[in-house]
Amino acid sequence: MSTSAEPLVLRTPPPFRRDAMVQSWLVVKALSDAGDAVWTIAVAWTAVQVASPAVAGLVVAAGTVPRAMVLLIGGAIADRVDARRMMLLFNGIRVAVLVATALWILSTGPGVAVLLAATIAFGLCDAFYEPAAGTIARQLVRPADLPAYSALSQTLSRLGTMAGAAVGGFLVAWLGMPGSAATDAVTFAVVIAFIAIWLRPRFALPRAARDESVLRGVASGFRHLRDDSATRTLVVSLSGLNLAVAPALAIGLALQASERGWGAGAVGLFEALVGGGAMAGALVVVRWRPSREAVGAFWALIVQGFGIVALGVGVPVVVAAGCLVIGLTAGFASVLLGATFAATVAPEYLGRMSSITRLGDDCLMPLAMAAFGALAAVLPLWTPFALYGGALALLMIVPLRNPRLRAIRLRSGQGASE
C-alpha cells in the first residue's frame, strides 16, 4: 500500500524501549481514560436517579448522534491542520464543559437538561478530537515501532479504564456528579499540559490542500477510499471489527447466564476473562509479532469467530474458554491492525479514514445489537452466536485475499508498493 507522500523526519526518535516522551504520553492518556470511566459512571448513575430508565438510556447515548453527524468533517479538518492544536483546543473545551456542568449542578441540582447538554457537547468534541488523535502515533514513532506503541497504548488504556470504573462508583457516591466531573476535568488538564509542554512530533505528515472546502475534503476522502483497494479493504474491515463480538458479549452472555441460571456474577467473571485476555494479547505483540502483521491479525479474527461460536454452547467451561480466546485474539488483532492502519494509509488521508472507520462502528452497532436480540428471541440461543461467529470468520477471508494487504511488513517501514 503506497502513500502519495511520505512523512518528513523532523527529529530522529530514540528506540521505543527508551522513548521517555512517548511512554509518558501513553501513561497520561491512560490517566485520561480513567477519568472518562469515572465520568461515564457518574452520568449513568445520575441519569437513573433523576429520570426514567428510557430517558436515562437516551441521556447516556445522547453524544453518539451529534458525533456521527460531524465526524467526517472532523476527519477532513484533522487532515488539514496541526493535530496537537486540535487536541489542545478540544481538550480545553472538554474541561470547560465539565467545569460548567459541575457548577450548574451545584447551583441548581442534577437534571436531565444539564446531563443531555454535557453528553452532546462531549460527543461533538469527540468528533473533532478523535480523528486528530488518530494521526498522532504516526507523528511520534517509526512505522516499525507502531505495533509496540499500539500494544502499550491499549494495555495502559484498559488498565486506566478498569481503574476508573473501579473507583467511579465510590466517587459519585462520595462526591456526587460535581466531584466526578471535576475529577475528569483534572485528568484532561494534565493531558493539555503534557501536549503543550512535552509532546513534540518527530514526523511531519503531509497535509491535505486547504484551497478546497471542508465538504469537498470529505468527498475527496471517499474518492480515495474508492480508488485504493487495500485502504478500502482495511477501512471496511476495521469498521466492522466489533460488530460480531460486541453483541455476543453485551447481550449474549447476559442471556446465557439468565437462561442457565448462572447469575450476574458469572457474567462479570466472563467479562473479566475477556479483558484480561485482551491485555495479554496486546502484550504478546510487544515481545513477538508476525512478519506480516495484517495477515496475522486477520487469522486471529478467524479464531475469534470460533470463540464467539463457543459462547453459544452453554457449558460454563466452554464459555469461559471462548471468552479467553476472544480476549486474546481481540488484543492481538486490534494492536496489529491499528498499527497497520496508521503506518500504511496515505498520511494526508489518515484523519478522514479514521473518522470513516469510527462512523461505521457508530452507525452499524445499534443494528447489530438489535439483530442479535431479535434472533435470540425467536431461535435457540446458540443460533445467533453461531451466525455472528461464523460470519466473522468467513468475512475475514476477504482481506486475507487482498494481495497488497498480505504484502505489508511494518518492520521494513514500508507498505507494499502498487
d(CA 258, CA 270): 14
| Surface-to-core class of residue 11, CB atoms within 10 Å of its CB (0-12 exposed, 13-18 middle, 19+ buried) | exposed
- pTM assigned to the model: 0.79
Instruction: Name the more confident of 237 and 252.
Output: 252
Q: Are 356 and 221 in contact (CB under 8 A)?
A: yes
- Residue 2 confidence (pLDDT) above 60: no
**pLDDT band with cut points at 50, 70 and 90 for residue 11:** confident
pLDDT digits (tens, 9 = 90+) for 371-412: 898 999 899 999 999 999 999 999 999 889 888 888 888 875
d(CA 370, CA 208): 38
d(CA 193, CA 270): 38
pLDDT at 407: 86
The lowest-confidence range among 56-70, 89-103, 255-269 is 56-70
The grid coordinates listed for 344 are 500504511
pLDDT at 128: 93
**pLDDT band with cut points at 50, 70 and 90 for residue 7:** low
Averaged pLDDT for residues 69-81? 90
Kindly list the distances between the CA atom of residue 276 and the CA atoms of 26, 243, 319, in Å, as whole numbers in the listed order: 19, 21, 15
The lowest-confidence range among 21-25, 144-148, 377-381 is 144-148
Dihedral (Cα; 239, 164, 24, 333), 10-degree rounding: -30
Q: Are 274 and 330 in contact (CB under 8 A)?
A: yes
pLDDT at 160: 86
**pLDDT band with cut points at 50, 70 and 90 for residue 240:** confident
d(CA 127, CA 354): 11
Domains of the chain in start order, with CATH, are: 10-204 (1.20.1250.20), 223-403 (1.20.1250.20)
Instruction: Name the more confident of 319 and 418.
Output: 319
d(CA 154, CA 151): 5
pLDDT digits (tens, 9 = 90+) for 252-272: 888 888 888 888 778 878 888
Query: What is the percent of the chain with per-residue pLDDT over 90, rounded to a whole number?
Result: 34
Instruction: Name the more confident of 415 and 239.
Output: 239
**pLDDT band with cut points at 50, 70 and 90 for residue 117:** very high
Averaged pLDDT for residues 205-234? 85
- The torsion region of residue 314 among left (phi > 0), alpha (psi -120 to 50) and beta comes to left
pLDDT at 253: 87
**Average pLDDT of every residue of the chain:** 86
- Residue 415 confidence (pLDDT) above 50: no
Spell out a b/e string for 311-336, using b for 16 or more CB atoms within 10 Å of the CB, else e: bbbeeeeebbbbbbbbbbbbbbbbbb
**pLDDT band with cut points at 50, 70 and 90 for residue 413:** very low
- Residue 347 confidence (pLDDT) above 70: yes
**pLDDT band with cut points at 50, 70 and 90 for residue 209:** confident
Averaged pLDDT for residues 305-324? 94
pLDDT digits (tens, 9 = 90+) for 174-201: 888 899 999 999 999 999 999 999 999 9
**pLDDT band with cut points at 50, 70 and 90 for residue 10:** low
Averaged pLDDT for residues 77-88? 91
pLDDT digits (tens, 9 = 90+) for 118-127: 999 998 999 9
